[in-house]
Amino acid sequence: MSLLAELQAFFAVYALKWPEWSGPMGRAVIVTLQITALAYALGLVVGLVVALGRLSRNPFLRRAAAVYVEVARGVPALVVLFLIYYGLVPLGVVLDAVPAAVIGLGLSAGGYVAEIVRAGIGATHRGQREAGASIGLTPLGVYRFILIPQAARIALPPLVGVLIAVLKDSSLASLISAPDIMLRAKDISSSDFLPLHILLVAGALYFVLALPLSAAASALERRMSRGLKSRP
């Protein structure tokens, strides 16, 4: 059989199987998006709190926040998921797979978010903070009106990068049996004996979900660096 005919036969399987696959895979996409969105939201909150901890005047808070960042960035997200999903059971904490995945991925992403936010706020000149205080803004007001708007410009593109990373890491939730794209793909591949077909669908789905985010990250990076790059 020629290569072209083989390819044709390969893709003909999709025409036959897609009506059967589209339902479960569609639901799986929704689970993947839910895990991603919730974990990212948790990651932003955790990251913001940890970043403020690293910038605080209290040495204990600073140290604790630094340790959190090092640990969150040094331990694989999958290990965090296993620790939360399987590891806490003997201690009486039994979580469903989806909440466990959200918590694990969120805690893991928090370490990256914290570093990005810290770098963003650290890049604003010290005089900005002093100027804010000198016109009578409260410390919170300084953050709200002076530091965060300037830090956002630096932090926004890498924060989109974290969203892409969380989307990809959400595939790990399948390994603690959350019914996401990868788990459904694996189920279908073992029931239909068509592993390559369905796994390529899974890959394509992640690609289609990540591509617009990746394009947005590059566009944001160009937009946000406007006027900054020209300086030597």
What residues line the site for other proteins (CB under 8 A)? Answer: 70-71, 73-80, 82-83, 86-91, 164, 168-172, 174-175, 182, 185-186, 189, 194-197, 199-200, 202-203, 206-207, 210-211, 214
Nearest approach, Cβ of 135 to other proteins (angstroms)?
A: 32
111: helix, coil or strand? helix
Nearest approach, Cβ of 169 to other proteins (angstroms)?
A: 7
CA distance 46 to 223: 27
Nearer to other proteins by C-beta: 146 or 178? 178
Q: Any long-range contacts for 189-198 (C-beta under 8 Å, 24+ apart)?
A: 192/17, 194/13, 194/17, 197/10, 197/13, 197/14, 197/17, 198/21
Nearer to other proteins by C-beta: 133 or 168? 168
Nearest approach, Cβ of 127 to other proteins (angstroms)?
A: 20
Nearer to other proteins by C-beta: 135 or 204? 204
Beta-carbon neighbour count of residue 52 at 10 Å? 16
Tokens for 28? Answer: 């799986």
Nearer to other proteins by C-beta: 90 or 227? 90
Nearest-CA neighbor of 181 among 161, 208, 155? 208
Nearest approach, Cβ of 144 to other proteins (angstroms)?
A: 30
Nearest approach, Cβ of 223 to other proteins (angstroms)?
A: 19
Nearer to other proteins by C-beta: 45 or 88? 88
- CB of 120 within 8 A of CB of 152? yes
Task: Indicate the burial class of 14 (C-beta count within 10 angstroms; 0-12, 13-18, 19 or more).
Answer: middle
Nearest approach, Cβ of 75 to other proteins (angstroms)?
A: 5
Residues in the chain: 232
Nearer to other proteins by C-beta: 45 or 211? 211
Measured CA angle at 7 (ends 18, 2), to 5 deg:
150
